[in-house]
Structure 1
Amino acid sequence: MTTLHDRPNTALVVIDVQNGVVGEAYRRNAVVANISTLVEKARDEGVTIVWVQHSSEEMEPGSEAWQYVSELARHEPEPLVHKQYGNSFEGTDLADVLADAGVGRLIVTGAETDACIRSTIHGAFTRGFDVILVGDAHTTNDLTAWGAPPPEVTIAHINLYWQYQDAPGRIASVSQTKDVSFSG
């Protein structure tokens, strides 16, 4: 149902599952395991997997913090998109990567829920993509010291409101790892 014509394909998008992002994240091990399950399923089904990797002063390219977690390994020729902003589309070639693969439907996983995940799902939706957020395959850190709600509340809130997003010709939904279908 995407508004992007001639884009029948689906991609799994894995955002910022890097040591410096998820090292202390809420339910880190369970979330990484769910993402790993989805990566293997996507590979088995021949689905495009797009890896997104954030860089910043705290996560310099090549540093340990910048590296993807050891449980997840990108395979060639799976695309790798480098970003410096929360929204994975801003200042990157993500839109071109998805267009080249004929992708109009995104299955989104990763971190952090209230930053890069939130801004990327909105960025994708406004660009015409169908966007499925995997509710048990994204996480965030505890930012309560700065006034944020606890991580479990943040994640529940994003999952709640995303399943009710709507716009002409597009689908926004939330699925659990066990229920993800790459065939639409």
Structure 2
Amino acid sequence: MTALENRPRTALLVIDVQNGVVGEAFDRDRVVATIGGLVDRARAHGVPVVWVQHSDEGLPEGTPGWQIVPELAPGNGEAVVHKNYGDSFEATDLEERLAEHGVGRLVVTGAQTDACIRSTLHGALVRGYDTTLVSDGHTTEDMRRFGMPIGPAEAIAYTNTYWAYTAAPGRTGAVTSAAEVDFTTA
């Protein structure tokens, strides 16, 4: 159930799977492969795939680090949203892209768990979207050097746990494994 009227469709959101973001990420190769499998399944079921690319002072647009990892690539006609903030909705055209497709439910994957993934999950929920986090489809680097009290495996587990219990009037947060994502009802 979504709080958005006439928005019954689902989209797969692939956040910041860029060379400079996931280069040092926990379990990088497995997560990228998992996302690749989800992208293939979404495409096979006609589910929109929306790609998000972050840029900022440390990750300038157009640089090798800014590029989406070579194992993944947006398909013809798939939306690519460029952002400068953690929340993929903030100061971007993501909402318009989703509205064009009648999307009210997001399946969220990508990086970084304890930054842009969390920001986007919350941003989507407050905007009325149902949001499913793919438990084995997001990652982060070790953020302890920036003051995080836990390592990447714990950050991923924590986010999976709390998001499973997140809800607001008319919308829900959910967590599921990639194998359990069902695009047939999208």
Q: TM-score, normalised by structure 1?
A: 0.98
Matches within 5 A, 1:13-52: 13-52=13-52
Structure 1 segment 1-12 matched on structure 2, within 5 A: 1-12=1-12
Aligned pairs (5 A) from 1:48-87: 48-87=48-87
Correspondence list, 1:108-147, <5 A: 108-147=108-147
* Structure 1 residue 41, shift from structure 2 partner: 0.1
Aligned length: 184
Query: Could you report, residue by residue, the CA deviation over 1:123-178 in whole angstroms, capped at 9, with x for unpaired residues?
Result: 00010000000010000000122331100000000000000011111121001010
Q: 1:60-106 CA distances to partner (integer Å, 9 max, x unpaired)? A: 11110000000001111000000000000000000110111100000
**How far apart in 1 are the matches of 2:43 and 2:16?**
19
Please list every run of 5 or more consecutive structure 2 residues that lacks an aligned counterpart in the other structure.
none
Rounded Cα–Cα distance in structure 2 between residues aligned with 1:68 and 1:118: 20
Q: What are the Cα deviations for residues 31-68 of structure 1, in whole angstroms up to 9, with x where unaligned?
A: 00000000000010000000000011121111100000
Q: Secondary structure at the match of 2:49?
A: strand
Q: 1:175 — aligned with what?
A: 176
Cα distance in structure 2, aligned partners of 1:47 and 1:178: 16
SS in structure 2 at match of 1:26: coil
Matched residue, 1:153: 154
Aligned partners of 1:175, 1:68: CA distance in 2, in Å?
24
For 1:176 and 1:41, the matched residues in 2 are separated by 14
1:5-45 deviations in Å (ceiling 9; x for gaps): 10010000000000000001000001000000000000100
Consecutive aligned runs of 4 or more in structure 1 exceeding 6 Å deviation: none
Residue 165 of structure 2 is matched in structure 1 by 164
Q: Please give the alpha-carbon distance, in whole angstroms, between the structure 1 residues aligned to 2:7 and 2:145.
A: 43
CA RMSD in angstroms, aligned pairs only: 0.8
